[in-house]
Amino acid sequence: MNDFFYIYIFMLAAFTGYEVISRVPVILHTPLMSGSNFVHGVVLVGAMYAMGHAVTPLEQALGFFAVFLGAANAAGGYVVTERMLGMFRREKKEPIQPIPTPEKVS
């Protein structure tokens, strides 16, 4: 593919990202942050590809590190988002609880 073609993909993807979440209610800010954290876990795919072409021990170690971290991002991101959104299940007339924001630590 022509290099310039990728610039178009970058631009269109940026507009898509902006547009897709532009009307998100405040209550969903944290779950959506978590959800998009899960989506960039697709870095796992890139890590697998890079590791699949590693030859020397150093390259293999870097690849292992990348795949390990990428898998953790994807799996952890899913579990955490799924649990947060589980709180939105509308049963038993329970009021929707906002996701707790962290305590002040400073």
Partner 1 sequence: MQWIIDISYFVVAALFILGLKAMSSPVTARKGINWAGVGMILATLVTFLTPGMRNYGLMLLAIILGGGVAWVLGKRVKMTDMPQMVAVYNGMGGGAAAAIAALEFARGEVTGAVVTTLAVLGALIGSVAFSGSIVAFLKLQGLMKKAWKVPGQNLFNGLLALITVLLGALIIASGPSTPVLLLFFLLALVLGVVLVAPIGGADMPVVISLLNAFTGLAVGFEGYVLHNPALIIAGIVVGASGILLTQLMAKAMNRAITGVIFTPITGEAQASAG
What is the C-alpha to C-alpha distance for residues 48 and 40, in angstroms, rounded to an integer?
14
40 touches partner 1 (CB under 8 A): yes
State CA 81 to chain mean position distance.
9
Window 57-76: residues binding partner 1 (CB under 8 A): 58-60, 62-76
Give yes or no for residue 79 binding partner 1 (CB under 8 A).
yes
* Least CB distance to partner 1 at residue 18 (A): 5
Rounded Cα distance between 74 and 80, Å, is 10
By CB under 8 A, residue 98 contacts partner 1: no
Q: Does 104 sit near partner 1 (CB under 8 A)? A: yes
Q: Does 8 bind partner 1 (CB under 8 A)?
A: no
Give the count of residues interacting with partner 1 (CB under 8 A): 88
Q: Residue 41's closest CA among 59, 14, 11, 67?
A: 67
**E strand or H helix at 24, and its extent?**
none
